[in-house]
RNA sequence: GCCCCCGUAGCUCAGUCGGAUAGAGCAGCUGCCUUCUAAGCAGACGGUCGCAGGUUCGAGUCCUGCCGGGGGCGCCA
């Protein structure tokens, strides 16, 4: 299936033919419309260059034979062409959709290999709100890209290396391995880390031991490495538990931690040196990519080796970038990382380009996102000022969902009720994160995200559940026949348009890694359905043909909603 | 001091390559359940798109300056 099979694609081709006759290659400027199904604004732009009246041009476009029979076009205002798709055309398009597991989404014309870097928690440190957005957004992008037909390599750049590990291992030894494993396995990473930190700050002997331990770790001392791997394994088990509860795709197979690049770091520095990019400054070895300035307008360095000989996260990031191009043959690399890291990542990209590690054919993109804010519009913190544990957030979302479900779920048994609360609570949490422009900070509000009104997860899930209920009744009541589709009423027309716009909504969301565009579309689809549902009787339709057709419309809507929610990593319950 | 992001209705947010009267939801107001899940639907109300210039037939959108909020800026990661 190519682009021509999408409804908008068909229109684009027809209009292009009309515009080519006016001026070869002229853009029809096909856009959504409030006054029609779609509109073409191309005549307005063309009028100046051709020195003709925009209305004349629009009139010629509207008369295009390519549109005849399936699309009514009328000139409006200063030179808009309003386009109304014929119901029989929509019917035909929907017919092709209903047997299609891809729901009209064409397989990517140019499948690419994507490396998606996201989540990246730190070993022996609690996952907190800071990991919420990267994990949720990254997961949704992976699902959407894979569905669109791309090869997706998930990478969890685990923080499993660095100077803190001397301290963490010493702490593990002090409290005893048994006790440490117990603490970490129940997910009490905070206590573990904090106690280690406290000992480090309070005691000189502990600091000294920690420093020695870091050296041992880096030298590959066997026992030290074993202790380190205990920390990593126990933390990973905990993270996996959180990922399972969150419902994201990440597994241990996706972990490519910082330690993975240890052996490559010296090579990174040596190769930068060989390329003549290294500059020594105050004892540190740096690269100064052009175009980056710090305080006082001084050139800004990317430090790849500290004056004490140690490497930095910049070195690791460069090694990872290199690896992703060489080993994965990535065409595009997405970094789902908070906005404050923007300059750092851009510098890494610039250095990698200069060094020839990131060829022009490979695109590296910072998929930046804003901070999570509390109701006071300040960084989301607990009342005591601590960072909020991610699991606390998940617990509360589920508990609140259960409360909100209330008597609705009374008929379910305990296991089902528990599962439903999980799907609704976690879905609400994720949808709230995904449904606004990721670059903005967002205000975290349980009450709003769990509301059943408005652009929320529960609203979409509810729309889906109603459809399932309708279909269940249809089967028990009379047995649905696979009748012919018909689009007749304005509500059916509107719903059909929304159903057929799913592919381009996904395409738009993937275009700039913006899941909220898909959310927006699903919300509009659910709205179109509920209006249809209110005004067009389905089971009580006047005649069997209408009933069967409307059942098929409902079925399609349910399929698209479930698919769309699935691409966001959100479940679509059949009852709620 | 330099750089990045943000500023749209009382609140939370959409607004795609510059197009018609700037759209939703919430809150408040008016209707609609003997009928497929009312956790819903329909309607009215609500705006100097931070401010001031500029480009354009046309600016929430592009450019410049300013104001306000957040963030970053050499050896933590």
Which residue is associated with the tokens 């020839």? A356
A99 sits within 7 Å of strand B by its CB: no
Of the candidates A507, A504, A505, A485, the residue with the CA atom closest to the CA atom of residue A496: A485
A 488-507: CB within 7 Å of strand B = none
User: Helix, strand, coil shares of chain A as percentages rounded to 5?
Assistant: 60, 10, 30
A190-194 long-range contacts (CB < 8 A, ≥24 apart) are A190/A125, A190/A126, A190/A389, A192/A124, A192/A168, A193/A124, A193/A125, A193/A126, A193/A168
> What six digits make up the tokens of A98?
């209903």
User: CA at A293, C1' at B52: how many angstroms apart?
Assistant: 30
A 107-126: CB within 7 Å of strand B = 122
Nearest 5 degrees, angle CA A98-CA A101-CA A103? 60
CB A515 within 8 A of CB A136: no
Compute the mean pLDDT over every residue in chain A, rounded to the nearest whole number.
93
A321: phi then psi, degrees, rounded to nearest 5:
-60, -45
Yes or no: domain A457-567 corresponds to CATH 1.10.730.10: yes
In this complex, the nucleotide whose C1' atom is nearest to the CA atom of residue A474 is B36
pLDDT at A482: 67
Provide the 10 A C-beta neighbour count for residue A20.
12
pLDDT at A400: 95
A330 to A22, A146, A325, A345, A512: CA distances (angstroms): 42, 14, 5, 17, 18
A125: phi then psi, degrees, rounded to nearest 5:
-130, 140
Nearest-angstrom CA–CA distance, A436 and A429: 12
- Reported in sequence order, the residue ranges of A17-148 that DSSP labels E, i.e. its strands, are 30-32, 38-40, 71-76, 80-85, 113-117
In this complex, the nucleotide whose C1' atom is nearest to the CA atom of residue A551 is B36
> SS3 letters for A243-266?
HHHHCCCCCHHHECCHHHHHHHHH
A383 sits within 7 Å of strand B by its CB: no
A218 sits within 7 Å of strand B by its CB: no
A156: phi then psi, degrees, rounded to nearest 5:
-100, 100
User: CA at A459, C1' at B28: how many angstroms apart?
Assistant: 22
CB A339 within 8 A of CB A370: yes
Measured from Cα to the C1' atom, the residue closest to B73 is A294
pLDDT at A479: 54
pLDDT over threshold 80, residue A5:
no
Q: List b or e across A426-454, with b for residues whose CB sees 16 or more CB atoms inside 10 angstroms.
A: bbbbbbbbbbbebeeebebebeebbbbee
In sequence order, the β-bridge partners of residue A81 are: A40, A75
pLDDT at A478: 58
User: CA at A354, C1' at B39: how many angstroms apart?
Assistant: 56
Which part of chain A has CATH 3.30.1360.70?
3-85
User: CA at A437, C1' at B23: how many angstroms apart?
Assistant: 16
A294 sits within 7 Å of strand B by its CB: yes
In this complex, the nucleotide whose C1' atom is nearest to the CA atom of residue A504 is B16
pLDDT at A350: 96
In this predicted model, what pLDDT tens digit does every residue of A488-504 receive, in sequence order? 999 999 999 999 999 99
First to last CA, chain A: 36
ipTM for the assembly: 0.96
**Cβ partners under 8 Å of residue A385, min gap 6:** none
Reported residue count of chain A is 576
Measured from Cα to the C1' atom, the residue closest to B70 is A441
User: CA at A393, C1' at B34: how many angstroms apart?
Assistant: 44
| A19: enclosing H helix or E strand | helix A7-22
A464 sits within 7 Å of strand B by its CB: no
A50: phi then psi, degrees, rounded to nearest 5:
-90, -10
In this complex, the nucleotide whose C1' atom is nearest to the CA atom of residue A528 is B41
Q: Residue A3's pLDDT band (boundaries 50, 70, 90)?
A: very low
Provide the 10 A C-beta neighbour count for residue A244.
11
User: CA at A452, C1' at B41: how many angstroms apart?
Assistant: 14
Mean predicted confidence (pLDDT) in A359-374: 94
pLDDT at A88: 95
In this complex, the nucleotide whose C1' atom is nearest to the CA atom of residue A307 is B75
pLDDT over threshold 60, residue A335:
yes
User: CA at A369, C1' at B61: how many angstroms apart?
Assistant: 21
A313 to A118, A215, A259, A292, A357: CA distances (angstroms): 16, 18, 11, 18, 17
Residue A214 has, within 13 A of its CA and on its CB side, a CA count of: 14
Nearest-angstrom CA–CA distance, A498 and A521: 8
User: CA at A41, C1' at B20: how many angstroms apart?
Assistant: 11
A334 sits within 7 Å of strand B by its CB: no
Residue A195 has, within 13 A of its CA and on its CB side, a CA count of: 16
In this predicted model, what pLDDT tens digit does every residue of A112-131 receive, in sequence order? 999 999 999 999 999 998 89
Work out whether strand A442-443 and strand A372-373 pair parallel, antiparallel, or are unpaired. Answer: parallel
User: Which architecture characterizes domain A3-85 according to CATH?
Assistant: 2-Layer Sandwich (3.30)
**Which bases in strand B are touched by protein, i.e. have an atom under 7 Å from a CB?**
1-7, 12-17, 19-20, 23-27, 35-42, 57-58, 69-77
A187 to A164, A174, A184, A246: CA distances (angstroms): 19, 19, 5, 15
Which part of chain A has CATH 1.10.730.10?
457-567
pLDDT at A99: 83
**Cβ partners under 8 Å of residue A251, min gap 6:** A240, A243
In this predicted model, what pLDDT tens digit does every residue of A472-481 receive, in sequence order? 998 876 555 6
A547 sits within 7 Å of strand B by its CB: no
A538 sits within 7 Å of strand B by its CB: yes
In this predicted model, what pLDDT tens digit does every residue of A290-303 receive, in sequence order? 989 887 778 999 99
Mean predicted confidence (pLDDT) in A134-147: 98
A 31-90: CB within 7 Å of strand B = 31-36, 39, 41, 44-45, 48, 76-78, 80, 82
Mean predicted confidence (pLDDT) in A185-193: 89
In sequence order, the β-bridge partners of residue A10 are: none
In this complex, the nucleotide whose C1' atom is nearest to the CA atom of residue A468 is B37
A 244-283: CB within 7 Å of strand B = 258, 281-283
């Amino acid at each position: 299936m190519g682009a021509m099979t999408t409804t908008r694609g068909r229109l684009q081709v027809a209009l292009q033919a009309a515009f080519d006759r006016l001026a070869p290659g002229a853009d029809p400027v096909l856009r959504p419309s409030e006054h029609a199904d779609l509109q073409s604004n191309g005549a307005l732009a063309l009028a100046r260059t051709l020195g003709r009246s925009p209305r004349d041009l629009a009139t010629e476009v509207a008369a295009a034979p390519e549109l005849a029979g399936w699309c009514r076009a009328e000139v409006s205002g200063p030179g808009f062409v309003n386009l109304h798709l014929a119901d029989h055309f929509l019917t035909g398009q929907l017919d092709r959709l209903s047997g299609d597991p891809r729901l009209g989404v064409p397989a990517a014309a140019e499948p690419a290999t994507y490396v998606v870097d996201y989540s990246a928690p730190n070993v022996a440190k609690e996952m907190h709100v800071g990991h919420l957005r990267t994990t949720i957004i990254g997961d949704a992008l992976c699902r959407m890209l894979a569905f669109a037909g791309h090869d997706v390599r998930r990478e969890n750049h685990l923080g499993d290396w660095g100077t803190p590990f001397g301290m963490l291992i010493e702490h593990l030894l002090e409290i005893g391995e048994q006790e440490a494993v117990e603490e970490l396995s129940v997910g009490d990473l905070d206590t573990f880390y904090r106690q280690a930190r406290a000992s480090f700050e309070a005691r000189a002997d502990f600091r000294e031991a920690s420093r020695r331990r870091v050296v041992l770790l880096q030298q590959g001392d066997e026992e030290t490495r074993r202790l380190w791997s205990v920390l990593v394994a126990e933390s990973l088990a905990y993270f996996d538990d959180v990922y399972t509860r969150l419902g994201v795709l990440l597994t241990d197979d996706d972990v490519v931690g910082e330690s993975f690049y240890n052996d490559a770091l010296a090579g990174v520095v040596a190769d930068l040196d060989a390329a003549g990019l290294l500059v020594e400054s105050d004892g540190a070895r740096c690269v100064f990519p052009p175009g980056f300035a710090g305080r006082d307008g001084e050139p800004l360095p990317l430090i790849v080796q500290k004056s004490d000989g140690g490497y930095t996260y910049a070195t690791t990031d460069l090694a990872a970038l290199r690896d992703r191009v060489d080993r994965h043959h990535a065409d595009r690399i997405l970094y789902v990382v908070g906005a404050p890291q923007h300059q750092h990542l851009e510098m890494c990209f610039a250095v990698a380009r200069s060094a020839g590690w990131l060829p022009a054919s490979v695109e590296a993109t910072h998929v930046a996102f804003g901070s999570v804010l509390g109701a006071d519009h300040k960084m989301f913190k607990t009342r005591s000022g601590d960072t909020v544990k991610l699991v606390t957030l998940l617990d509360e979302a589920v508990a609140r969902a259960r409360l909100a479900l209330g008597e609705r779920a009374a008929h379910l048994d305990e296991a089902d009720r528990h599962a439903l609360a999980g799907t609704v609570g976690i879905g609400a949490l994720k949808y709230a994160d995904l449904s606004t422009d990721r670059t903005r900070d967002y205000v975290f509000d349980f009450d709003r995200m769990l509301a059943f009104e408005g652009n929320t997860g529960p609203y979409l899930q509810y729309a889906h559940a109603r459809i399932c209920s309708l279909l269940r009744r249809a089967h028990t009541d009379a047995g649905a026949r696979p009748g012919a589709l018909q689009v007749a009423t304005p509500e059916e027309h509107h719903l059909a348009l929304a159903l057929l716009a799913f592919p381009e909504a996904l395409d738009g969301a993937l275009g700039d890694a913006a899941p909220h565009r898909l959310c927006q579309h699903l919300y509009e689809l659910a709205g179109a359905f509920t209006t249809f549902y209110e005004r067009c009787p389905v089971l009580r339709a006047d005649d069997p043909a209408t009933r069967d057709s409307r059942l098929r419309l409902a079925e399609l809507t349910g399929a698209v909603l479930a698919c769309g929610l699935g691409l966001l990593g959100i479940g679509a319950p059949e009852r709620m």
